[in-house]
């Protein structure tokens, strides 16, 4: 859309069933925030809408397991998520929640309108029902014996032991995962939205009309449309959610994916009385930022609902990102393989911009990408500190030293090619950054900003004003050259503040401070100009924009990630602590292995001969283990479970051929097998009678 009158930007509603992690940030919140901050700097009319998605089955299950109400679950996580968003500088105009009354009214009315227009199909089907908890059971909440491999804990949709995909009907002896009761079949009626009716229109709208959408988004839409759409139930049997606003619908609520995107409309209503301008006028540009798992809902289902309703604008673009993996593995909230925002801001206080930088520079814009702590450190130390921060700092220090802390004059008569090239680079950078942001290429945009600071460093290196300063006594005319160099470097710094602002807002603020100018200077129209700081204006002392991140901090994060990993309760557990910041563990079995895989393990019995706490690591014990043929040092994450003196003399089973690993500077050679019960209590695995140290286990 060219020249829209106003922008409506939404970011996916996070599920209020756990805190948010960096994958969420990289997926949609950060790119949405960069886009919105840029639009605001452009003085465009924009509203940035977000909120928590507070309905759906997993929330009720969690509430049941914890013995609290669903409202208590969502209250807790809504607060945590909202705080994390603020801490990372995600500048929503409103961060609402779908349990608010305005949303219930809006979503009900939306459903009722489609119902009154005769757009739903009513269908009856038989579903499993738990009579004890009076709940219809989603497939995932039925367990039983796998007909393929006899695993007694298969789910109604899949056996995780043999990988077979199942339907609840195939399970032998099905049970409710909620109450262990034997489920019964019960008839239930639901309202289905016939997506197939919208297929011809969707094809025209997306396949013909939105070829500019990102390849990953366009491709996924095309494959959904190519394989044909079907009716989808828009209601569920549950007591938690938005009641179906019909007389014969007791115990039924709107399907969470029907109500959640309507949450964008409700939140806009809550924000402004002019909400209808944003949602109903054709010259609004509506942009949904989401992760790739939400593409079908935002590109196919929600637009079809909007089209069916008839009163609302359709999304102009849906720039979905792919997934961010961590240290080479998929993020898993249930296994706690994640970097949680609420923990990051504690561990790296004041470094919120660094995470924003890394997540944008390495954003999964076109394919899944990997976050590693090493890369985080490298990008901070060698890009933010050494390039951007270094340029600004050098400029400030030299300006105070060579120009008395004031903006020197620009002597146009002696401008040379290098000066002119720098001025041209500044103007060009603005155009490049702007084009990239408008096309949702935030990585490229950020690269251009850093590249401009790189050019600044090179310029200063070539000009060498500190050398000129030494020759001033013999050649006072050189002051003019020094003035020009410093003048241009200062104007470049002002430009960098404007260009970096959408990406690293706190950094831009610090730069404003140093320049002693007001926020208005960050208006986008000022970018590309070299008359931002007036001649003779005195500037503050420099302050460091970024600090170096040390190896120890990175090692501690990697250790935290590995130690926090939650493994299924029935498995042996090694060097794992219950550092659970995550949603409760949902256990899952691992894939089947062949005997050869098992035979690779060298398991030996040993005796603990010494144990002590590791300094500054409250979860780690340093153990000496006698394996008969040799003595080993093993670091184990069990300090919260055992008193060191009480375990000396115990026999244990050790994985003797595990690659050594350094933890807190101590090389750990092997792992000790532990059993863990459902509440997280640890017990050693050992022979039932003492055996000679070094005995094999097989
Ligand atoms: Zn199976």
Cβ neighbors of 165 (< 8 A, separation 6 or more) are: 157, 158
691 burial type by CB count under 10 A (0-12 exposed, 13-18 middle, 19+ buried): middle
Backbone angles phi, psi at 74, to 5 degrees: -70, -30
pLDDT of res. 225 = 96
Residue 667's pLDDT is what?
83
Residue 246 pLDDT more than 70? yes
Q: What is the pLDDT of residue 580?
A: 27
The confidence band for 341, taking pLDDT boundaries of 50, 70 and 90, is very high
For residue 194, the 8-state DSSP code is: E
Q: Give 677's contacts (C-beta < 8 A, 6+ positions apart).
A: 569, 683
488 Cα to the center of ligand 1, angstroms: 69
Instruction: Give residue 141 CA to ligand 1 midpoint distance, Å.
Output: 16
pLDDT digits (tens, 9 = 90+) for 77-90: 999 999 999 999 99
pLDDT per residue over 34-47, tens digit each? 999 999 999 999 99
* pLDDT at residue 574 in the model: 30
CA 171 to ligand 1 center in whole angstroms: 10
CA of 332 to the centre of ligand 1 (A): 22
What's the burial of 412, exposed, middle or buried (CB within 10 Å: 0-12/13-18/19+)? exposed
The whole model's pTM is what?
A: 0.79
DSSP letter string, 255-300: -HHHHHHHHHHHHHHHH-TTHHHHHH-TTEEEEEE-BGGGHHIIII
3-state secondary structure (DSSP) of residue 174: strand
Eight-class DSSP state of 15: B
Q: What is the pLDDT of residue 418?
A: 97
Cα(174) to centroid of ligand 1, in Å?
14
CA of 583 to the centre of ligand 1 (A): 26
For 615-630, what is the mean pLDDT? 85
Question: Residue 257: which of 287, 295, 227 has the closest Cα?
Answer: 295
Distance 142 CA to ligand 1 centre (A): 14
Q: How far is the CA of 175 from the centre of ligand 1 (A)?
A: 16
Q: Model confidence over 363-414: pLDDT tens digits?
A: 999 999 999 999 999 999 999 999 999 999 999 999 999 999 999 999 999 9
Q: How far apart are CA 599 and CA 368, in angstroms?
A: 34
Report CA(163)–ligand 1 centroid distance (Å). 6
- Interval between CA 155 and ligand 1 midpoint (Å): 9
Ligand 1 centroid–CA 432 distance in Å is 54
Q: State the distance from the centre of ligand 1 to the C-alpha of 158, rounded, in angstroms.
A: 8
* Banded pLDDT at 588 (limits 50, 70, 90): very low
Ligand 1 center to 581 CA (angstroms):
31
pLDDT for res 310: 96
146: CA distance to ligand 1 center in Å?
Answer: 5
Query: What's the CA-to-centroid distance between 327 and ligand 1, angstroms?
Result: 30
Distance 452 CA to ligand 1 centre (A): 57
Q: Residue 127 pairs with which residues in a beta bridge?
A: 186
Closest CA to 41 of 33, 49, 31: 33
Average pLDDT over residues 14-43: 97
Binning pLDDT at 50, 70 and 90, where does residue 318 land? very high
Ligand 1 centre to CA of 585 (Å) is: 21
Burial-class residue 572 by CB neighbours within 10 Å (0-12, 13-18, 19+): middle
Element (H, E) at 562: helix 551-564
Confidence at residue 567, expressed as pLDDT on a 0 to 100 scale: 58
Q: How far does Cα 616 stand from its chain's mean position?
A: 29
Q: Ligand 1 center to residue 698 CA distance, Å?
A: 25
Instruction: Give dist(CA 623, CA 614) in Å, integer.
Output: 10
Lowest mean pLDDT among 95-104, 171-180, 496-505: 171-180
Ligand 1 mean position, distance from CA 148 (Å): 5
Q: How far is the CA of 167 from the centre of ligand 1 (A)?
A: 12
Q: In three state form, how does the secondary structure of 77-129 look? A: HHHHHHHHHHHCCCCCCEEEECCCHHHHHHHHHHHHHHHHCCCCEEEEEEEEE
Question: Residue 181 C-alpha to ligand 1 middle, in angstroms?
Answer: 21
Distance, CA of 584 to CA of 568 (rounded, Å): 11
Closest by Cα among 262, 359, 356, 351 to 312: 262
Quote the CA–CA distance of 352 and 30 in Å, as a whole number: 12
**CA 169 to ligand 1 center in whole angstroms:** 14
Question: Cα–Cα distances in Å, from 419 out to 236, 341, 397, 548, 642?
Answer: 67, 43, 20, 31, 67
Q: Encode pLDDT of 147-187 as tens digits.
A: 999 999 898 888 878 878 788 889 999 999 888 899 999 99
Q: Largest Cα–Cα distance in the chain?
A: 99
Beta carbons of 145 and 154 less than 8 angstroms apart: yes
Return d(Cα 377, Cα 539) in angstroms, integer.
Answer: 31
What's the helix, strand, coil split of the chain in %, to 5?
Answer: 45, 20, 40
Residue 309 has pLDDT above 80, yes or no: yes
Distance 323 CA to ligand 1 centre (A): 29
The per-residue pLDDT for 572 is 30
Q: Which three-class secondary structure state does DSSP give residue 52?
A: strand
Query: What does the pLDDT read at residue 130?
Result: 92
Compute, in angstroms, the gap from residue 166 CA to the centroid of ligand 1: 9
Angle of CA points 232, 237, 240, to nearest 5° = 110
- Name every residue whose Cβ is closer than 8 Å to that of residue 492 and which is 6 or more positions away in sequence: 391, 395, 422, 426, 452, 453, 456, 530
C-alpha distances out from residue 440 to 216, 321, 433, 523, Å? 13, 10, 11, 20
User: Per mean pLDDT, which range of 12-21, 353-362, 464-473, 559-568 is the poorest?
Assistant: 559-568
Residue 152 CA to ligand 1 centre (angstroms)? 8
Centre of ligand 1 to C-alpha 180, Å, is: 20
Ligand 1 geometric centre to CA of 150 (Å): 6
Measure the CA–CA gap between 155 and 581, rounded to whole angstroms: 26
Q: How far is the CA of 164 from the centre of ligand 1 (A)?
A: 6
7 forms beta bridges with 46, 285
624 and 610 in contact (C-beta within 8 Å)? yes
Instruction: Please state the φ and ψ torsions of residue 354, each to the nearest 5 degrees.
Output: -65, -45
Across the chain, mean pLDDT equals 91
Beta bridge partners of 126: 187
**CA 172 to ligand 1 centroid distance, Å:** 11
Report which DSSP code applies to 542.
P
pLDDT value of position 161: 82
613-626 mean pLDDT: 85
Res 592: pLDDT:
62
CA 424 to ligand 1 centroid distance, Å: 66
Assess contact for 289 and 440: CB atoms under 8 A: no
**What is the distance in A from the centroid of ligand 1 to the CA of 590?**
12
Ligand 1 centroid – CA 599 distance (Å): 23
In the prediction, which pLDDT does 370 show?
A: 96
Q: Which of 120, 128, 184 is nearest to 157 (CA)?
A: 128
- Residue 137 CA to ligand 1 center (angstroms) comes to 20
Distance 580 CA to ligand 1 centre (A): 29
- The residue-averaged pLDDT of 64-74 equals 92
Judge contact between 287 and 10, C-beta under 8 A.
yes
Q: How far is the CA of 437 from the centre of ligand 1 (A)?
A: 48
How far, in Å, is the centroid of ligand 1 from the Cα of 600? 25
Query: From the CA of 512, how far away is ligand 1's center (Å)?
Result: 62
User: What phi and psi, each to the nearest 5 degrees, are found at residue 536?
Assistant: 90, -10
Cα of 592 vs centre of ligand 1, distance in Å, is 10
Q: What is the mean pLDDT of residues 575-588?
A: 29
Mean pLDDT in residue range 197-205: 98
Residue 208 burial by CB count (10 A; 0-12/13-18/19+): exposed, middle or buried?
exposed
Distance 173 CA to ligand 1 centre (A): 14
- Residue whose C-alpha is closest to residue 57's, from 230, 189, 178: 178
pLDDT one-digit tens code per residue, 505-559: 999 999 999 999 999 999 999 999 999 999 999 999 999 999 999 999 999 999 9
Range scoring the smallest mean pLDDT among 37-51, 149-163, 223-237, 558-572: 558-572
Q: How far is the CA of 438 from the centre of ligand 1 (A)?
A: 49
135 C-alpha to ligand 1 centroid (Å):
26
CA-to-CA separations, 528 to 294, 418, 432, 496, 524, in angstroms, rounded: 38, 17, 11, 10, 9
Cα separation values, 429 from 369, 377, 422, 426, 495, Å: 26, 26, 10, 5, 9
CA of 589 to the centre of ligand 1 (A): 11
Q: What is the distance between the alpha carbons of residues 466 and 476, in angstroms, rounded to a whole number?
A: 14
Count other Cβ atoms within 10 Å, centred on residue 355.
22
Distance CA 257, CA 271 (A): 22
Nearest to 627 by CA among 645, 644, 603, 596: 603
Ligand 1 centroid to 162 CA: how many Å? Answer: 4
The alpha carbon of 160 and the centre of ligand 1 are apart by a number of angstroms equal to 7
What is the predicted pLDDT for the residue at 578? 28
| Interatomic CA distance for residues 366 and 174, integer angstroms | 42
Q: Give whole-number Cα distances, 572 to 568, 653, 686, in Å.
A: 9, 11, 12
Distance 140 CA to ligand 1 centre (A): 15
Query: pLDDT at residue 595 above 90?
Result: no
| Ligand 1 geometric centre to CA of 255 (Å) | 30
* Contact of 633 with 667, CB cutoff 8 Å: yes
Rg (alpha carbons) of the chain, rounded to whole number: 30
CA of 165 relative to ligand 1 center, distance in Å: 9
Q: Calculate how far, in angstroms, residue 145's C-alpha sits from the geometric centre of ligand 1.
A: 8
Q: What is the pLDDT of residue 593?
A: 66
- Compute the CA torsion angle 150, 154, 160, 163 (nearest 10 deg): 60
- Give me ligand 1 centre to Cα 334, in Å: 21
């Amino acid at each position: 859309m060219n020249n829209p009158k106003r922008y409506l930007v939404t970011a996916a509603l996070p599920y209020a069933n756990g805190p948010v992690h960096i994958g969420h940030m990289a997926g949609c919140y950060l790119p949405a925030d960069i886009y919105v901050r840029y639009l605001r700097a452009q003085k465009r009319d924009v509203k940035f809408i977000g909120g928590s998605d507070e309905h759906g089955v997993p929330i009720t299950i969690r509430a049941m397991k914890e013995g609290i109400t669903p409202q208590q679950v969502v209250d807790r996580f809504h607060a945590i998520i909202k705080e994390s968003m603020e801490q990372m500088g995600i500048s929503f105009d409103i961060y609402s929640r779908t349990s608010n009354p305005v949303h219930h009214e809006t979503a009900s009315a939306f459903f009722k309108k489609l119902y009154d227009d005769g757009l739903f199909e009513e269908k009856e089907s038989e579903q499993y029902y738990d009579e004890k908890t009076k709940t219809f059971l989603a497939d995932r909440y039925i367990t039983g014996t796998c007909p393929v491999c006899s695993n007694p804990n298969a789910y109604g949709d899949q056996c995780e032991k043999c990988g077979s995909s199942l339907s609840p009907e195939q399970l032998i002896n099905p049970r409710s995962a909620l109450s262990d009761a034997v489920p019964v079949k019960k008839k239930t009626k639901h309202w289905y939205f016939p997506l197939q009716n919208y297929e011809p229109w969707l094809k025209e709208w997306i396949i013909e009309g939105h070829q500019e959408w990102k390849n990953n988004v366009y491709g996924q839409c095309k494959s959904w449309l190519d394989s044909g759409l079907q009716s989808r139930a828009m209601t569920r049997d549950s007591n938690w959610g938005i009641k179906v606003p019909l007389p014969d619908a007791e115990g039924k609520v709107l399907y969470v994916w029907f109500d959640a995107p309507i949450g964008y409309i409700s939140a806009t209503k809550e924000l402004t009385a002019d909400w209808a301008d944003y949602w109903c006028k054709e010259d609004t540009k509506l942009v949904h930022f989401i992760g790739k798992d939400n593409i079908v809902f935002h590109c196919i289902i929600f637009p079809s609902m909007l089209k069916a309703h008839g009163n609302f604008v359709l999304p102009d673009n849906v720039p979905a990102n792919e997934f961010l993996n961590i240290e080479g593995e998929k993020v898993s909230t249930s296994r706690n393989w994640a970097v949680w925002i609420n923990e990051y801001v504690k561990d790296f206080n004041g470094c919120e911009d660094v995470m924003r930088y890394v997540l944008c520079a390495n954003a999964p814009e076109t394919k899944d990408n990997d976050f590693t702590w090493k890369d985080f450190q490298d990008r901070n130390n060698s890009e933010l500190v050494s390039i951007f921060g270094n340029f600004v700092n050098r400029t400030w220090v030299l300006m105070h030293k060579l120009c008395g802390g004031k903006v020197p004059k620009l002597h146009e008569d002696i401008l040379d090619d290098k000066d002119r090239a720098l001025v041209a680079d500044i103007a060009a950078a603005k155009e490049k950054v702007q084009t990239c942001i408008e096309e949702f290429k935030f990585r490229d945009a950020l690269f251009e900003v850093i590249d401009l600071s790189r050019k600044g460093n090179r310029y200063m290196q070539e000009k060498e004003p500190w050398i000129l300063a030494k020759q001033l006594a013999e050649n006072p005319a050189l002051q003019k050259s020094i003035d020009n160099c410093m003048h241009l470097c200062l104007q470049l710094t002002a430009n960098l503040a404007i260009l970096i602002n959408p990406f690293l807002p706190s950094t831009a603020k610090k730069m404003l401070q140093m320049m002693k100018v007001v926020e208005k200077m960050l208006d986008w129209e000022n970018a590309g100009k070299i008359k931002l700081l007036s001649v003779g204006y005195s500037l503050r002392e420099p302050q460091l924009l970024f600090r170096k991140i040390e190896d120890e901090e990175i090692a501690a994060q990697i250790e935290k990630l590995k130690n926090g990993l939650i493994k299924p309760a029935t498995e042996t557990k090694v060097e794992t602590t219950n550092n659970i910041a995550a949603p409760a563990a949902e256990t899952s079995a691992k894939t089947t292995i062949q005997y050869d895989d098992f035979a690779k393990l060298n398991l030996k019995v040993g005796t603990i001969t010494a144990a002590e706490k590791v300094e500054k690591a409250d979860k780690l014990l340093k153990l000496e283990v006698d394996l008969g043929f040799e003595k080993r040092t093993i670091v184990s994450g069990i300090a919260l479970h055992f008193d060191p003196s009480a375990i000396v003399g115990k026999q244990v089973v050790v994985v003797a051929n595990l690659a050594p690993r350094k933890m807190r500077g101590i090389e750990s050679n092997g792992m000790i097998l532990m059993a863990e019960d459902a509440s997280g209590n640890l017990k050693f695995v050992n022979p039932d009678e003492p055996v000679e140290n070094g005995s094999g286990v097989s």
